Amino acid sequence: MTSGEPYTLRIMRVDLGSGEISEELIDGETTAKYVGGTGLATKYLWEEVPAGVKWSDPENRLTFFTGPLAGTRVCGSGTFSVTTLGACTGMAGTAQANGFMGAFMRMNGIDGIIVQGAAEKWTRLHIQDGKIHLLDAEPLVGLDTWETEDAVKAETEGRCSVYSIGPAGEHLVRFSAIVGDRGHVAAHNGVGAVMGSKKLKCISAVKGGVKPRVVDPERLVATAKKLAELTKEVDPGLVQFGTNAGLVPLGAMGAVPMRNYTTNVWPEGNKYVPEYMREHFKSKPSACWACSVAHCRIMELTEGPYTGFVGEEPEYEGTAEMGPLIGMTEPASTVYLCNLVDRLGFDINESGYLIAWLMECYEKGHLTKDELDGVEMNWGDAEAVATMLRKIAYREGCGDLFAEGTKRSAERVGGEARDCCVYTMKGATPRGHDHRGHWSEFIDTCLSNTGTIETSGHLFTPPNLGLERVKDRFDPIAMSTMNALLNGGRNVEDSLGICRLCTPNLALTLEIINAVTGWGWDVESAKEMGLRIVNLMRMFNFRHGLTKEMEAPSVRYSSTPVDGPAAGIGIREHWDTIRANYYEKMGWDVETGRPLPETLEKYGLDHLVEELSV
């Protein structure tokens, strides 16, 4: 391909209801405007999922999209994006997973897959030799995600990437995830529940022989090498200890969640630092596609209650959710529970906040032993956690209620129980941080379109955009303004088909994009594209019921820390100011949060202006 030829994409459409599989070619102009991944998928959601369609309707779309960097020699380019109308918020949901699937899809000449309809019986989608095959998945029903991966690989020749739902997804647990490649998860906003509603058990791809399209291979190789080396230089802690290297600095901010946001004092924290974990347990690297950072590891427990267990070393968020958030003091139990969450097919964030809420409710008498089917939900009790997670995954007994997620469960129980639950009013939970000490992510989580963070990323940082960092992280105007200035970057990352941990430098990443596509992007081009997706997704959410009142935190989520580094500093009294300032800086109506006509026109969304009056 030469730089004069348009960069086009090949998308496959699968109708599970009819069994029909078709192909669509995305023209160069559309690709340049929406790129791939989350960007292109959002365009399809807008065009094909009208008002009135619910997350479990056959007419909902479930997309698996890669991006132009996927499968190339760029570090961490095995990423793909899952985008849909999510089960937790009933609005847009998008989640990314690394590993190998994104690369293997592109090596079959497939840049994305749109799944629509619902199968009559359990089905699996298999990619091989550039084609999609719909196969019987009835023998896989009831298997967890690891067992499903092993079963598919056992009957497949060649290297194969497998992503599946576990029992949670099969039973339509609202916060179920899609899990594959032993520990990689597309988690947020119930994408696994949507997959389960379509009776799609798994998607698998055999490594093919198609080379992803690259306009300037020599430039790509040279720049990709520079970016990989820089990634290791600027974040040596990530290389050495993975994302758990963030445990200590986040703790110093008061941003590690502890006992359901009731404290920020963690005496057992020294047992959870990565140095301790690596010294006390065996581990070995388990790198994703083309990744020289290789921060992921497989871990064997050599002491503690689960000695001999082998699984993935938890990422930071798993460590936080199944560690301090639920009052766990034994790291071996944390490792075991994180892997159980993956095997059952849950989102680790929602799982942690739900379990922590149940523990506080049990401690305070808001929920009794009888109401919990005899399970004593004491802080740090790993076996009680495991029992409850299984009940939720299969919707057994009280698990049927809790399978609806934190917000819906808390509202149904009501009273004081509701007020000690951490969630956003849209219906999702935060990530694995105590956001009361981390206002940038607090603002991002409550005001994002996706059910998780949308602004916080690696491409658009203050240094990368030539901005000064905010000096006071608890300044409501400065922090909400900075969030608006940085927005769009994460959507760019999630449209490229690359792990965000491998993109610390914007200039080099732009050079790589141009080497692959020939577009000639600069910083302004990237910002325009990212904000186009932000505004398009926001319009989609208003179509599906978003209101200003939903963009707010729950009572406990917005409570004031009583101890620790952020003690006495509360966000609740500033929330209306924060939201209004953010709306204004984003070019949205301050009273409603809807994008203004001139904002839509600015980002090439003129055709949406008439929707503002609907």
- CB-CB contact of 416 with 352 (8 Å): no
- CB-CB contact of 7 with 32 (8 Å): yes
Residue 126 has φ and ψ, to the nearest 5°, of -120, 130
Same fold? 9-206, 435-559+572-613: no
Instruction: Give CA angle at 442 (41, 565), nearest 5°.
Output: 145
As a whole number of angstroms, the distance between CA 54 and CA 47 comes to: 15
Q: Which pLDDT score is estimated for 5?
A: 82
CB atoms within 10 A of CB 145: 28
Q: Which pLDDT score is estimated for 4?
A: 64
Convert 366-393 to b/e letters by CB count within 10 Å (16 or more is b).
bbeeebbeebebebbbbebbbbbbebbb
Share of the chain above pLDDT 90, in %: 95
Topology, domain 219-419: 1.10.569
- CB-CB contact of 530 with 491 (8 Å): yes
As a whole number of angstroms, the distance between CA 275 and CA 176 comes to: 31
- CB-CB contact of 198 with 192 (8 Å): no
- Model confidence pTM above 0.95: yes
Q: Which pLDDT score is estimated for 611?
A: 85
Residue 65 has φ and ψ, to the nearest 5°, of -120, 135
Contacts 24+ apart (CB under 8 A), 509-513: 509/227, 509/459, 511/219, 511/223, 512/69, 512/74, 512/220, 512/223, 512/224, 512/227, 513/68, 513/69
Statement: residue 2 has pLDDT above 50: no
pLDDT band (50, 70, 90) for residue 270: confident
Please write the tens of the pLDDT for every residue from 230-251: 999 988 999 999 999 999 999 9
As a whole number of angstroms, the distance between CA 572 and CA 300 comes to: 43
User: Is 99 strand, coil or helix?
Assistant: coil
As a whole number of angstroms, the distance between CA 459 and CA 500 comes to: 8
CATH 3.40.640.10 assigned to domain 9-206? The reply is: no
Statement: residue 305 has pLDDT above 80: yes
Pairing relation of β-strands 160-164 and 200-206?
Answer: antiparallel
The DSSP-derived string for 112-131 is EEEEES--SS-EEEEEETTE
Please write the tens of the pLDDT for every residue from 24-52: 999 999 999 999 999 999 999 999 999 99
Q: Which pLDDT score is estimated for 613?
A: 75
Q: Token digits for 531?
A: 């904000």
User: Is 198 strand, coil or helix?
Assistant: coil
The whole-number average pLDDT for the span 485-489 is: 97
Give strand ranges (E) for 221-344: 282-285, 297-300, 310-312
- Listed by start position, the domains of the chain span 9-206, 219-419, 435-559+572-613
Residue 194 has φ and ψ, to the nearest 5°, of -60, -45
Please write the tens of the pLDDT for every residue from 507-561: 999 999 999 999 999 999 999 999 999 999 999 999 999 999 999 999 999 999 9
Q: Token digits for 605?
A: 């969304």
Instruction: Give CA angle at 528 (606, 507), nearest 5°.
Output: 165
CATH number of the structural domain 435-559+572-613: 1.10.599.10
Pairing relation of β-strands 123-128 and 200-206?
Answer: parallel
**In sequence order, what are the residues at sequence separation of 6 or more whose Cβ sits closer than 8 angstroms to the Cβ of residue 575?**
552, 553, 558
The DSSP-derived string for 418-445 is HHT---BTTS----SS-GGG-HHHHHHH
Please write the tens of the pLDDT for every residue from 143-180: 999 999 999 999 999 999 999 999 999 999 999 999 99
